[in-house]
Structures are given as C-alpha cells and as structure tokens.
Amino acid sequence: MQLNTAKITQDARILGTKEADASAHLICLLDPAFDVAGLPYGAVLKQRLRDADHKLKPGESFHTQLPNTRGTRITLLAAGPDQSAFDRLTQARKALAAQQPPAPVALTLACFGLKPDAAGRACEAFVAAALAADFRLPTYKSEPEKAARLREIHIYGHATKHGYARTVAEARGNNLARYLTALPPNELTPGNYRKRVEKLARGYGWKAEFLDLAKLKKLGAGAFLAVAQGSPELDAGILHLRYIPKKKSAKTPLALVGKGICFDTGGTNLKNAKYMHGMHEDMQGSAVALGTLLALTELKADFPVDCWMALAQNHIGPKSYKQNDVVKAANGKSVEVMHTDAEGRMILADTLTLASRAKPKLVIDYATLTGACIGALSTRMSGALTNRTELIPTLIAAGETSGERVWPFPLPDDYKEALKSDVADIKQCTLDNDADHILAAVFLKQFLTNDPDWVHVDLASGNHKGGLAHIPSDITGFGVRLTLNLLLDQKLAR
C-alpha cells in the first residue's frame, strides 16, 4: 500500500498556448460568463461547441482534443457559483474519468474568469478527485492492470497561500480507509489488522496499546467478549492509539471510535448469501477512524487524539453468543441479546465506555451499523445522531461544505422504552423493523460515561455503486473529510 501523492504546483499566471501544448491532460475551469474564444485555441473550441450544439451551462462540461501535435485532452467546465460541494466533487470525478484512458501522469488545471473563492473551491475539488482516482485499491489478479501514477498537478490562474496540504492529508486518510476496507477477510483478520496498524503507529509516532481478550475480561467488557467468543482465533481486542502534539496542549483529547468487524456472518442469526456478501467491509468504521487520525497527524493538529479500534469477527460456531443471552458490559449494565447480527453495537458499547472514561470533550464514532439507515437515506449520504441537539445544524453544515453529506436523526428519550428488558438493564435491539438506526444510537448512548459531546455516524454511504462525490470506487471511505470539516472549520474540538 502506497500513500504517496502527486506534487502540486501553483502559478497565478493565466495559462497560455505554450503551457496548453505542454499538457497531455488539461482541464479548464471557467466562469459561466467567460468567452471560450479567450482560451488557447479558443476559436477552434468555440466552433466545436457550436458543431455539437453544446451550450456550456453552469455545472456542465465539454470534452475534446486540442489541434496540436500532442493531441492534448481538454475538458471545458463551467464552474457554477452556486454549486454545492457535493456537486463540485461529483463533477470533478466525472470530468477526470472522461480524460481517461490513459490515466494522467501529469494533470493541468487552468482557471479563467473565476473569482478567487470560486477558483479555490473548483481547484480543491479537482485535486481531491485526482488524488482519489490515482490511488490503487488492492488487487489479486494474476495479471494486474498496469496504470501510470499521477506525479504532478499543475494549477494556473489561481494560487493559494497555504496550498493543498489539507486536501492531501484528507486524501491520504481516505485512501488508507478504502484500502483496508477492500482487503479480503482471509487477509484482514483482527490479528493481521492489528499488525498493520501497529506498524503504521511506529511510523507516525503514535502510542499504541492493545487490549486483548484477557485484559477485556478483567475490565468486564462482556458485550465485546460476547461477540468475540464465537471466533476460533483469539485475536480480537480493542486497539488504542494516541496522537500527542509536539507542543504541549492543555486541550481535552478528541476520541475517535470505530467498529472493526473484519467479517460478519450474522452469528447464530446467520445472514443469507446475498447479505453476507461484502461483509468484510463491516470494519470500515475503524478504518475511517484510523484514516482521520492519520490526516490529523499529518496536519500536526494542536490537540491530542485518541483512536479506539474495536477489532473482532462475528463468527458462527459452538461458542457463539445467542439470543436471550444476558451479558454485563464494562459500565456494569446488563444487556439482553435479542439478535446476534446486531453485533456492532455490542462491541461499540464497551469501546465507547473505555474511550469516554478518559474524559474527552468530544467522542465521534463511525460504524457500518444498520440497514435501517440505508433504508432511510439510501447510500448517497450517511446518518448522524448526537446527544447535543445544538450540534444538529453544525453536522448538516459540515456535510454540506465538505461534500460528505450527513442527515441527523433525533435521539428522543421515549425511544428508550422500546429497549426495556424484563431480565436485564437494557435490550440490545428489538425484533421489529422500527427505526433501528435510532434505537442503535439510543442503545450506544447508555454506555457513555462523563457525558461527553458525542456524534455517532452510521455509515450508510460506506459503499455506493459507481462511486460517490469525488471517490471513484464503490468503497467510499466516507467520513475523513466530514470529520476534518467538523473539527477544523466548524471548530467542534475547540
């Protein structure tokens, strides 16, 4: 796995014919009012638009080749002033796809007539999309397809003071999350996952502690252990990583928590083949937490970050937990098991307890948790729930401005009535098809200690066929970009 990224250069000068002729892949970002005649080879391009009866409206693009010796692939794109971040990113992904094959080794972006803010947003979307498109997910074909790697991105007509360090960090975090999620389940077992991450921790200087099954038993983490007990391998556990800024900080740490079920059979409530297929991706929440940690580390965040990865498999076997089992979680609450395929909330319950004991100001957890959330939103956006109603506008704003859209659901106290148990403190879930994404969050909330601010992200959009926003693969790695917006733009960790 290589997280290397292309070199990005900026030049405030307007791109001329000489630079256009030197480019193999050129994308021109235009103000909708800009006259195409003002571009290099503008007369030819304007005639081609006429011949195609194509009016370049905001949000639309036109693809052709320049009449030069190189045959430069050129895309004309009208950057609409009122486009959402999601639309900009989607447009960038599709425009880059139209530039291939072959995949670009060098990509040129050129702005014409755009105001600085609009140019900055448009360029950032294309940088994000280019870095996502260039990344190679794991393949096991005997004759893998060879593709050139993107080495350079040249930007003309716009220059930012701080460059694209944040976009690069977000891309590296997202690429890591997608790569890990794509690994097959016989390769990414909890034990192998742990080894990969511990190697990464050494490279980034993170402190790492692994709470194995014996330690979790001493901590009374019976909810986690119930899920892990069906596995023939005793490699499950909670991996705790810690980033500490170089400059001492009095700020309360941020806690990132991720569901890391490396394969989910459903347990004794066995899934059928259709729904079991793809369940190696059930660890995507932990990969997103890890990718977010990586991005914050590369940006040298000035606050400490704890990352808690709950690593296990939900196997079926003679020792598997079963319906009507009663187990005791790490916070002392007893849980009645209602459905063994609701294992994610079981492992997260104990992990949230341990994470919140450290008294973080904010806890964010990520999980591919419920089909109910997909039923409510489809896979185009993810669900978000919080114990602070005042954060709901912030969550919506972060989704809109990052392009990783979330929609908040309520967390009313009366929903807890559905989780009342006759034999335990709480039911794990119900057997009815009623708002399980909300009930799952209601359940998880019971395992927070010290009352931190809490955001639960139900990753309905963890996999979207054909890609989503700037991400070209079905596996989206959704959440890294959203979280950096929450923390750095919405100031949620301050």
**Catalytic (active-site) positions:** 271, 345
Q: Is the dihedral of CA 52, 53, 55, 60 positive or negative?
A: negative
Q: How far apart are CA 352 and CA 369, in angstroms?
A: 15
Neighbours of 91 (CB within 10 A): 24
- Give the span between the Cα atoms of 65 and 358, in whole angstroms: 58
Q: 248-261 burial, b if ≥16 CB within 10 A, otherwise e? A: eeeeebbbbbbbbb
Three-state DSSP at 9 gives strand
**SS3 assignment, position 210:** strand
**Structure tokens belonging to residue 46:** 């304007």
The token pair that represents 272 in the structure block: 């059928």
What single string gives the DSSP state of each residue in 310-373? EEEEE--STT---TT-EEE-TTS-EEE---TT-HHHHHHHHHHHHHHHT--SEEEEEE---HHH
Residue 209, burial from CB neighbour count under 10 angstroms (0-12, 13-18, 19+): exposed
Closest CA to 129 of 100, 161, 160: 100
Rounded distance between C-alpha atoms, residue 198 and residue 204, angstroms: 10
DSSP H helical ranges for 78-138: 85-98, 116-134
Residue 307 sits at the vertex; the CA angle it makes with 7 and 285, to the nearest 5 degrees, is 80
**Closest C-alpha to 288, from 381, 212, 348, 367:** 367
Token pair, residue 431, equals: 């057997």
Give dist(CA 41, CA 245) in Å, integer: 51
Q: Is 145 left (phi over 0), alpha (psi -120 to 50) or beta?
A: beta
Residue 150: which of 5, 51, 283, 49 has the closest Cα? 5
b/e map of 114-130 (b: 16 or more CB within 10 Å)?
beeebbbbbbbbbbbbb
Radius of gyration of the chain (CA): 24
CA dihedral 223, 224, 225, 231 (to 10 degrees): 130
Q: Strand, coil or helix: what is 58?
A: coil
User: Could you tell me the two tokens for 111?
Assistant: 């702005």
